[in-house]
Amino acid sequence: MPSFLDALKSQVGRKILTGVTGVGLIIFIIFHLATNLQVFGDVHAFNEAAHALESMGWLLYVLEAGLAIAFLLHAYVGISIWWNRRKARPEGYEKYQSKGGSSHMSWASRSMIFTGIVLLVFLVIHIDTFKFGATEMVTLPGGEEARDLKGLMLSTFQQPLYAFGYTAVMILLGFHLGHGFWSAFTSLTMKHNKYSALIYTVGVIFAVLMAVGFLFIPLYIYFGEGCEAALILCQ
């Protein structure tokens, strides 16, 4: 029998790893979107939510480390699968088309490596912009001093490059999730049954909801004609 590490490195192990990390990342983005949507809540809600996260101390570091490992493993395995694919068929077809029917071949499934790499590059820029971005300090109703991340968000997305760049990447995130959500179930050994089609549909709906949820914020800010129209966003 192979050791645990060798089993993880096998084709089956790599798939399980992709699925497990993928599910972790899906849970993360659900929380991320829920936090983002706080900008539409009370004036201080978003900054309070961000401040609560930053005040978690060591637990935050544990979560961040877990998240970093999940991202890196997911990306590493994905890239290695793509690399193996190139080796496994050195000479391609002159003509190739999907048979349709029960196939899940789509732009989403065939572009996982492209959408994945875009998301990886995006992640670096995103963390640099928001996690390490310079902000003013605000005083929350509770009296604590906190980073004005909401202000940073508003000023960032008034720049067209950020507003439309983020929107484009979030559409790609939607495609990545469109295949990824369903794929995770199969990777984690769920057999085809009467629920398979339902899970695929739920995955697509989930992907659209996530993409629309995330891209709504930059577009709303950009097209909000400044603070007059986007009153609820402005302090």
Q: Please report whether residue 88 would count as binding other proteins according to CB under 8 A.
A: yes
> Which token pair is 19?
């699925």
- CB-nearer residue toward other proteins: 188 or 212: 188
Q: State the minimum distance, in angstroms, from the CB of residue 85 to other proteins.
A: 4
Assign 146 to helix, strand or coil: strand
Q: Please report whether residue 85 would count as binding other proteins according to CB under 8 A.
A: yes
Assign 138 to helix, strand or coil: strand
Residue from 104, 144, 160, 168 binding other proteins (CB under 8 A): 104
Residue from 14, 51, 74, 150 binding other proteins (CB under 8 A): 14
- CB-nearer residue toward other proteins: 112 or 210: 112
Q: Please report whether residue 206 would count as binding other proteins according to CB under 8 A.
A: no
At 134, the amino acid letter reads: A
Q: Please report whether residue 98 would count as binding other proteins according to CB under 8 A.
A: yes
* Nearest C-alpha neighbor of 75 from the set 17, 148, 136, 1: 17
Q: Please report whether residue 198 would count as binding other proteins according to CB under 8 A.
A: no
- CB-nearer residue toward other proteins: 37 or 188: 188
Q: Please report whether residue 12 would count as binding other proteins according to CB under 8 A.
A: yes
User: By the 8 A CB rule, do 18 and 187 touch?
Assistant: yes
* Nearest C-alpha neighbor of 39 from the set 159, 170, 149, 155: 149
Sign of CA dihedral 65, 163, 166, 209: positive
In the chain, alpha helices (H)? 4-9, 11-36, 45-54, 58-88, 107-110, 112-126, 149-156, 160-187, 196-222, 226-229
Residue from 38, 155, 158, 186 binding other proteins (CB under 8 A): 186
Total chain residues near other proteins (CB under 8 A)? 47
> Which token pair is 79?
């890239």
Q: Please report whether residue 23 would count as binding other proteins according to CB under 8 A.
A: no
Binding site for other proteins (CB under 8 A): 1-2, 4, 7, 10-16, 81, 84-85, 87-105, 109-110, 112, 179, 182-183, 186-193
